[in-house]
Amino acid sequence: MKTAVGIKIIKTVEEMKDFVREERKSCRTVGFVPTMGFLHEGHLTLIKKAKEQNDTVILSIFVNPTQFGPNEDFEKYPRDEQRDLTLAAKEGVDVVFLPSVDEMYPTFPTTKLTAIDRTNVLCGKSRPGHFDGVVTVLSKLFHITMPDKAYFGLKDAQQVAVTKGLVEDYFFPIEIIGVETVREEDGLAKSSRNVYLTEKEREQAPHLYESLRQAITLVEQGERNKQKIRESILAHINEHTDGEVDYVDFYRYPSLEEITVLEEKIIIAIAVKFSQARLIDNVILDIEK
């Protein structure tokens, strides 16, 4: 099926599998960009990277109900299918996989995937079951699209870490590509949830990244005391925003193991709650470098 904007849309699992089989017969490499839609520049950067590295690019748009908790925003999650298709066509996506919930979850499952590591920290700590839903839907999508490479934004670095664990555990023949966070000119990480910020909150939100930049400066100056760096981040956010800090955490990356000393590769991650939006951001640092 082709839309008015000239992009091929596939809505069923079997048709998607048939398409990929034909690509394989032609020895074409496949890059896959899984999304929940409401595309922004961060997603478009993933598409560009996939276009650079593959012959064919598949974009999926599917708001996955199994990764939303009982009190989370599944119904409110922003959706704009026509806009998404127009942007995908402009970026040169070859196929958009646009399944329904019934297509992806046609029957009651006979098995269950559970993410047991890298999940009880950061956002996963307050969202029990969230990453079970993530690994479940990604397992389905990976089997359906059979890509050589799959692309994820490092803004959600925990999701990238969990996905790499999934691929390693189950020997998926897929390379996971983490792409640097795409930001607005003022530093705010691009996110579909930014639309929920009030005008005042939008003015304050860039200070999340500014607090992380200050943390980087402290590390570059030789500071290795986690508490001092955490206090710097907290002080900056509390002084410059009305948001409520959910967490400021430090972990080894991508294992997300606890650290007592800043060494090797680490992530400094933050989450801040505003009136209608919870924003996350992070920096990943190689301390030895």
- Known catalytic residues are 43
Longest dimension (CA), the chain: 59
Do the annotations mark residue 245 as ligand-binding? no
Do the annotations mark residue 204 as ligand-binding? no
Do the annotations mark residue 53 as ligand-binding? no
Helix 226-240 vs helix 207-220: angle between axes, to the nearest 10 degrees? Answer: 150
The secondary element (H helix, E strand) that includes residue 220 is helix 207-220
* 262 contacts 284 by C-beta, under 8 angstroms: no
Do the annotations mark residue 129 as ligand-binding? no
Do the annotations mark residue 37 as ligand-binding? yes
* 174 contacts 147 by C-beta, under 8 angstroms: yes
* 91 contacts 50 by C-beta, under 8 angstroms: no
For residue 93 the two structure tokens come to 């996506």
For residue 220 the two structure tokens come to 């570059």
Instruction: Label residue 205 exposed, middle or buried (CB < 10 Å: 0-12, 13-18, 19+).
Output: buried
For residue 253 the two structure tokens come to 């990356």
For residue 81 the two structure tokens come to 């299918």
Do the annotations mark residue 154 as ligand-binding? yes
Do the annotations mark residue 36 as ligand-binding? yes
Do the annotations mark residue 90 as ligand-binding? no
Do the annotations mark residue 39 as ligand-binding? yes
Sheet holding 56-61, edge to edge: 8-10, 95-97, 56-61, 30-35, 149-153, 175-179
Distance CA 68, CA 75 (A): 10
Do the annotations mark residue 43 as ligand-binding? yes
Do the annotations mark residue 273 as ligand-binding? no
Indicate the DSSP class of residue 254: T
Sheet holding 265-273, edge to edge: 244-252, 265-273, 278-286
β-pair partners for 215:
none
Do the annotations mark residue 42 as ligand-binding? yes
Do the annotations mark residue 67 as ligand-binding? yes
Annotated binding site for ATP: 36-43, 153-156, 182, 190-193
Annotated binding site for beta-alanine: 67
Annotated binding site for (R)-pantoate: 67, 159
Annotated binding site: 36-43, 67, 153-156, 159, 182, 190-193
